[in-house]
Structure 1
Amino acid sequence: MKKDPMTGICEELTFSGFFKSHAKTLRNYLFYKFGNEEQAEDVTQEAFIKLWENCANVPPEKAKSFLYTVANNTSLNHIAHQKVVLDYSKKAPASVYDTQSPEFIMEEEQFKVKLQNAIGGLSEAQRSAFLLHRIDGKKYHEIADILGISVKAVEKRIHGALQQLRKDIDNIR
């Protein structure tokens, strides 16, 4: 009878529901934090596998925290490789533009690159909070829960990100 409270997340239906409700958010969080979609997918899967393997040791109320901790630690273990990939992508020569392309397509592509660079220039904390809010549509209190910080800290990070982006975008023009 001792194991009954601990087997809550080990039940297939419970785990499946937990996966469905948290997988996309975890993947997006990892993508925003580390900038690599494939790595975010892989780490999300690895984190859920580790949760399943350790489900008897993880109480249901701590499962989300366990999941994010495992995912974050796994990503940090791969960060050296990630830096090489990001450096390469920044230094890679731009694809050859077709001389027949309209000017607005070229300008749009240049602006996208500049915007991505501006977002990439934000601190990790600002970028994560900003993208979780603007892309995923998360509320400040949801972001605070995901990042393990206060709502006030989320407000400060997003405000700082907006100020930095405004400054960088004005310099682009």
Structure 2
Amino acid sequence: MKKELHKDICEESVFSGLYERLSSDLYKYLYYKYGEGFNPDDKMQEAFVRLWENCKKVTVEKAKSFLFTVANNMMLNEAKHQKVVLKYRSQQPDRYTNESPEFLLQKEEYFKKYQEVLSRLTEEQRTAFLLNKVEGKKHAEIAEMLGVTRKVVEYRIYSAFDTLKNELEGFRIK
């Protein structure tokens, strides 16, 4: 069993050693997985900043996992943001509609209820449900992203669906 000489990442020499050892691998991981469009170099640097901010909480053994998880999450957030931006740009405002004002009001009220029920779900249920139903990801993909088993993902999605079905009148999903 190897004896750990340095346990405190807050020491500058330990931190710089981690940076020299892991920065290139982290950058390559982000670049290969997400491409140049999401600024992998910036995300790699930001991950090390977050490591430095949490240096008392993270051990040297967990530093690599922490860095890769934080950087991956930042890239996923950036990708999600870019999807919203693209969706917003592609939508043209409706100039007119054949729908009655009553229908539009009901639709808006239903959407508010839907958002309210979604906000009451646990974070795990909401994440799995939205990744599956909004993003179109398969259960296995979600399980890999979240680091849980496929059965756990299925349970989270179906329990979220049951909650929505019970609390929203006429809730159906494809």
**Any residues of structure 2 matched to 1:77-156 within 5 Å, and which?**
102-156=101-155
- The residue aligned with 2:46 is 50
TM-score, reference length from structure 2: 0.50
Identity of aligned residues (%): 26
Q: What stretches of structure 2 of length at least 5 have no aligned partner?
A: 1-19, 51-59, 76-99
Q: 63, 71, 81: which one pairs with 1:67?
A: 71
Question: How many angstroms apart in 2 are the aligned matches of 1:126 and 1:65?
Answer: 20
Alpha carbons of 1:21 and 1:163: their partners in 2 closer, same or farther (altered >3 Å)?
farther
Q: Is the 8 A contact 1:127 1:161 kept in 2?
A: yes
Q: Over aligned residues, Cα RMSD in angstroms?
A: 4.1
Q: Is the 8 A contact 1:130 1:158 kept in 2?
A: yes
Alpha carbons of 1:152 and 1:15: their partners in 2 closer, same or farther (altered >3 Å)?
closer
SS in 1 for 2:135: coil
Q: Is the 8 A contact 2:48 2:67 kept in 1?
A: no
Look up the equivalent residue of 2:34 and give its one-letter code: F
Question: How many angstroms apart in 2 are the aligned matches of 1:102 and 1:160?
Answer: 34
TM-score, reference length from structure 1: 0.50
Greater Rg, structure 1 or structure 2? 2
Q: How many residues align?
A: 116
Look up the equivalent residue of 2:132 and give its one-letter code: H
How much does 1:149 deviate?
Answer: 1.1
* Residue 20 of structure 1 pairs with residue 19 of structure 2: no
Question: How many angstroms apart in 2 are the aligned matches of 1:171 and 1:152?
Answer: 27
How much does 1:132 deviate?
Answer: 0.7
Look up the equivalent residue of 2:24 and give its one-letter code: T
Question: How many angstroms apart in 2 are the aligned matches of 1:128 and 1:122?
Answer: 9
